[in-house]
Amino acid sequence: MITPEETLLLVIDVQGRLAQSVHGSDGVVAAIGRMIRASRILEVPVLVTEQYPKGLGRTVDALMELLPGAQPVEKLSFSCCGNEGFMERLRAFGRNDILLAGMETHVCVYQTAVELLDFGYNVHLLTDAVSSRTEENRALGIRCIEKAGGALSSTEMAMFELLREAGTDRFKAVSAILKEA
């Protein structure tokens, strides 16, 4: 089970042109937004990446507005792990459980998941918070990540796992976020 003390949310490449072209874009961006909001309440750090922002645009405003002061890691490698700056920032958090969200499931999310697993991290794929341009590629990416050893989860499942119990102020705040879905 994941805990707030050991978990990090990684938001991969939810950028202008790319975000507009993926299957179910609005729902995926909304799910990621809810997870970011819950992560902030639960004190789970959030790390954001951008694939070639000159060509694909910056992270969508709807998400960046939830992360004041965030500095996305710019990358050219499909796997986030191919960027040394990313690896340095990831290691600095000292978290072993990585919640994955973003785009595209079968490319950057998949390659990042496999390399994180190779580095010994526990990968938890938030299946409602990932997408690709086609549903077929999204489903293929999810299957391949699971086959590689990644755990499948959802934003709601992860939120409740991080909460552990009802009746707290954090529970009330996260419950309010979930009611928006």
CA distance 39 to 61: 18
Within a domain: 1: no
Within a domain: 2: no
**Is 75 marked active-site?**
yes
| CATH code, domain with 18 | 3.40.50.850
Is pLDDT above 90 for 181?
no
CA distance 53 to 117: 26
CA distance 177 to 87: 31
Q: Which of 80, 81, 108, 128 is the catalytic position? A: 108
What are 7-27's pLDDT values in tens digits? 999 999 999 988 989 999 999
Query: Quick one: what percent of the chain has pLDDT higher than 70?
Result: 100
Is pLDDT above 90 for 94?
yes
pTM assigned to the model: 0.98
* Model pLDDT, residue 17: 81
**Is 147 marked active-site?**
no
Residue pair 108/51 in contact (Cβ under 8 Å)? The answer is yes
* Spatial CB neighbours of 15, under 8 Å, sequence gap ≥ 6: 50, 51, 53, 56, 57, 58, 59, 60, 103
Q: Which of 13, 81, 97, 128 is the catalytic position? A: 13
What are 130-152's pLDDT values in tens digits? 999 999 999 999 999 999 999 99
Determine the structural domain holding residue 145 and report its residue range.
7-179
Mean per-residue pLDDT of the chain: 97
Is pLDDT above 90 for 6?
yes
Is pLDDT above 90 for 160?
yes
Q: Alpha helices, DSSP H only, in 53-167?
A: 53-56, 61-64, 84-93, 110-118, 135-148, 155-163
User: Number of folded domains in the chain?
Assistant: 1
Within a domain: 48: yes
**Is 128 marked active-site?**
no
